[in-house]
Amino acid sequence: MAAIVDFKEVSIVGLESSPVVDALAGLRANEARYFQNKYKHDFTVAPARDSQETIDYVNRVLKEERDIEFAAKPLETSRFQVENIKFSYVFYEDGLVVNVMYTVDDPKKRAVGFKLSEGMEVPKELEGKFKFARQKSKLAGTIRGSFFVIKGEY
Protein backbone atom coordinates (compact mmCIF):
# COMPACT_ATOMS: atom_id res chain seq x y z
CA MET A 1 0.00 0.00 0.00
CA ALA A 2 1.36 3.42 -0.96
CA ALA A 3 2.07 5.97 1.77
CA ILE A 4 2.80 9.70 1.68
CA VAL A 5 6.23 10.47 3.14
CA ASP A 6 6.08 12.96 6.01
CA PHE A 7 9.12 15.23 6.00
CA LYS A 8 8.20 17.00 9.25
CA GLU A 9 8.03 13.83 11.36
CA VAL A 10 10.62 11.48 9.86
CA SER A 11 9.49 7.86 10.01
CA ILE A 12 11.52 4.68 9.53
CA VAL A 13 8.46 2.63 8.55
CA GLY A 14 9.27 0.42 5.57
CA LEU A 15 13.01 0.85 5.99
CA GLU A 16 13.54 -0.94 9.33
CA SER A 17 15.87 -3.63 7.93
CA SER A 18 18.45 -1.09 6.72
CA PRO A 19 21.70 -0.85 8.71
CA VAL A 20 21.53 2.94 8.15
CA VAL A 21 17.79 3.19 8.78
CA ASP A 22 17.75 6.68 10.32
CA ALA A 23 19.89 8.21 7.55
CA LEU A 24 17.87 6.44 4.83
CA ALA A 25 14.60 7.63 6.39
CA GLY A 26 16.05 11.16 6.49
CA LEU A 27 17.08 10.91 2.85
CA ARG A 28 13.58 9.75 1.89
CA ALA A 29 12.10 12.68 3.86
CA ASN A 30 14.55 15.05 2.15
CA GLU A 31 13.23 13.92 -1.26
CA ALA A 32 9.65 14.40 -0.04
CA ARG A 33 10.43 17.93 1.12
CA TYR A 34 12.05 18.78 -2.23
CA PHE A 35 9.02 17.66 -4.25
CA GLN A 36 6.58 19.41 -1.92
CA ASN A 37 8.53 22.68 -2.05
CA LYS A 38 9.31 22.65 -5.79
CA TYR A 39 6.18 21.05 -7.28
CA LYS A 40 3.58 20.92 -4.46
CA HIS A 41 3.65 17.14 -4.99
CA ASP A 42 3.10 14.60 -2.20
CA PHE A 43 5.97 12.09 -2.41
CA THR A 44 4.53 8.62 -1.96
CA VAL A 45 6.32 5.30 -1.59
CA ALA A 46 5.20 1.72 -1.99
CA PRO A 47 6.77 -1.48 -0.67
CA ALA A 48 9.12 -3.10 -3.19
CA ARG A 49 7.04 -6.29 -3.16
CA ASP A 50 4.10 -4.27 -4.55
CA SER A 51 6.02 -2.37 -7.21
CA GLN A 52 8.08 -4.79 -9.28
CA GLU A 53 7.30 -2.83 -12.46
CA THR A 54 9.14 0.24 -11.12
CA ILE A 55 12.11 -1.88 -9.99
CA ASP A 56 12.26 -3.59 -13.40
CA TYR A 57 12.19 -0.21 -15.17
CA VAL A 58 15.03 1.25 -13.07
CA ASN A 59 17.03 -2.00 -13.42
CA ARG A 60 16.58 -1.92 -17.21
CA VAL A 61 17.84 1.66 -17.48
CA LEU A 62 20.86 0.89 -15.26
CA LYS A 63 21.71 -2.32 -17.13
CA GLU A 64 21.31 -0.94 -20.67
CA GLU A 65 22.99 2.42 -20.02
CA ARG A 66 25.93 1.44 -17.79
CA ASP A 67 25.78 -2.35 -17.23
CA ILE A 68 25.02 -1.81 -13.52
CA GLU A 69 23.12 -4.38 -11.45
CA PHE A 70 22.82 -3.79 -7.71
CA ALA A 71 23.03 -6.68 -5.29
CA ALA A 72 21.27 -4.72 -2.53
CA LYS A 73 17.65 -5.53 -1.71
CA PRO A 74 15.04 -2.94 -2.79
CA LEU A 75 12.80 -1.88 0.12
CA GLU A 76 10.55 0.79 -1.40
CA THR A 77 9.82 2.56 -4.66
CA SER A 78 8.15 5.69 -5.91
CA ARG A 79 6.95 6.48 -9.43
CA PHE A 80 5.13 9.62 -10.55
CA GLN A 81 5.07 12.47 -13.04
CA VAL A 82 5.24 16.19 -12.29
CA GLU A 83 4.96 18.64 -15.14
CA ASN A 84 6.82 17.04 -18.08
CA ILE A 85 9.14 14.84 -15.97
CA LYS A 86 8.65 11.20 -15.01
CA PHE A 87 10.42 10.14 -11.81
CA SER A 88 11.16 6.60 -10.65
CA TYR A 89 12.85 5.91 -7.31
CA VAL A 90 14.19 2.77 -5.65
CA PHE A 91 15.26 2.85 -1.98
CA TYR A 92 17.70 0.01 -1.20
CA GLU A 93 18.35 -1.73 2.11
CA ASP A 94 22.05 -0.73 2.13
CA GLY A 95 21.11 2.99 2.11
CA LEU A 96 21.39 3.66 -1.62
CA VAL A 97 18.69 5.63 -3.42
CA VAL A 98 18.50 5.50 -7.21
CA ASN A 99 16.24 7.76 -9.21
CA VAL A 100 15.51 7.98 -12.91
CA MET A 101 14.49 11.45 -14.10
CA TYR A 102 13.03 11.22 -17.59
CA THR A 103 11.63 14.27 -19.35
CA VAL A 104 8.82 13.40 -21.71
CA ASP A 105 9.65 16.03 -24.33
CA ASP A 106 13.39 16.77 -24.01
CA PRO A 107 15.88 13.91 -24.49
CA LYS A 108 18.71 16.17 -23.28
CA LYS A 109 17.26 16.32 -19.76
CA ARG A 110 17.21 12.66 -18.75
CA ALA A 111 19.42 11.26 -16.02
CA VAL A 112 19.96 8.61 -13.37
CA GLY A 113 20.88 9.88 -9.92
CA PHE A 114 22.53 8.04 -7.05
CA LYS A 115 22.35 9.20 -3.44
CA LEU A 116 24.19 7.49 -0.61
CA SER A 117 22.83 7.66 2.92
CA GLU A 118 25.18 8.89 5.61
CA GLY A 119 27.13 6.00 7.12
CA MET A 120 27.08 3.68 4.09
CA GLU A 121 30.03 2.72 1.93
CA VAL A 122 30.01 3.37 -1.82
CA PRO A 123 28.42 0.24 -3.34
CA LYS A 124 30.97 -1.95 -5.15
CA GLU A 125 28.88 -1.57 -8.32
CA LEU A 126 29.69 2.17 -8.33
CA GLU A 127 33.25 2.17 -6.94
CA GLY A 128 35.67 4.02 -9.17
CA LYS A 129 32.98 4.76 -11.78
CA PHE A 130 31.49 7.93 -10.30
CA LYS A 131 32.63 10.92 -8.28
CA PHE A 132 30.31 11.84 -5.46
CA ALA A 133 29.52 15.39 -4.38
CA ARG A 134 28.59 16.04 -0.76
CA GLN A 135 25.47 17.89 0.29
CA LYS A 136 24.33 18.74 3.82
CA SER A 137 20.73 18.09 4.79
CA LYS A 138 18.97 18.81 8.09
CA LEU A 139 16.90 15.67 7.53
CA ALA A 140 19.56 13.30 6.18
CA GLY A 141 22.93 14.54 7.45
CA THR A 142 25.59 14.37 4.73
CA ILE A 143 24.30 13.02 1.41
CA ARG A 144 26.76 11.92 -1.26
CA GLY A 145 25.36 12.07 -4.76
CA SER A 146 26.26 11.46 -8.38
CA PHE A 147 24.50 11.00 -11.72
CA PHE A 148 24.82 10.13 -15.37
CA VAL A 149 22.92 11.31 -18.43
CA ILE A 150 20.60 8.80 -20.11
CA LYS A 151 21.29 8.37 -23.82
CA GLY A 152 18.65 5.74 -24.77
CA GLU A 153 14.86 5.77 -25.02
CA TYR A 154 12.84 4.21 -22.21
- What is the average per-residue pLDDT within 131-137? 96
Average pLDDT, the chain: 97
Assign 32 to helix, strand or coil.
helix
Within 10 Å of residue 129's Cβ, how many Cβ atoms? 12
pTM over cut 0.85: yes
Starting at the edge strand found earlier in the chain, the sheet holding 85-92 runs 3-4, 44-47, 74-82, 85-92, 96-103, 110-116, 141-149, 133-137
- Cβ atoms of 71 and 93 within 8 Å: the answer is no
Residue 76 host element (H or E): strand 74-82
Residue 137 host element (H or E): strand 133-137
> Is it the case that residue 1 has pLDDT exceeding 90?
no
Determine if residue 116 is left, alpha or beta; phi over 0 gives left, psi from -120 to 50 gives alpha, anything else beta: beta
pLDDT (0 to 100) of residue 81:
98
pLDDT band at 3 (very low <50, low <70, confident <90, very high): very high
Task: Kindly state the DSSP code that residue 151 receives in the 8-state scheme.
Answer: -
For the chain, percent of residues with pLDDT exceeding 70? 100
pLDDT tens, position by position, 63-122: 999 999 999 999 999 999 999 999 999 999 999 999 999 999 998 899 999 999 999 999
- What is the average per-residue pLDDT within 16-20? 98
pLDDT (0 to 100) of residue 148:
98
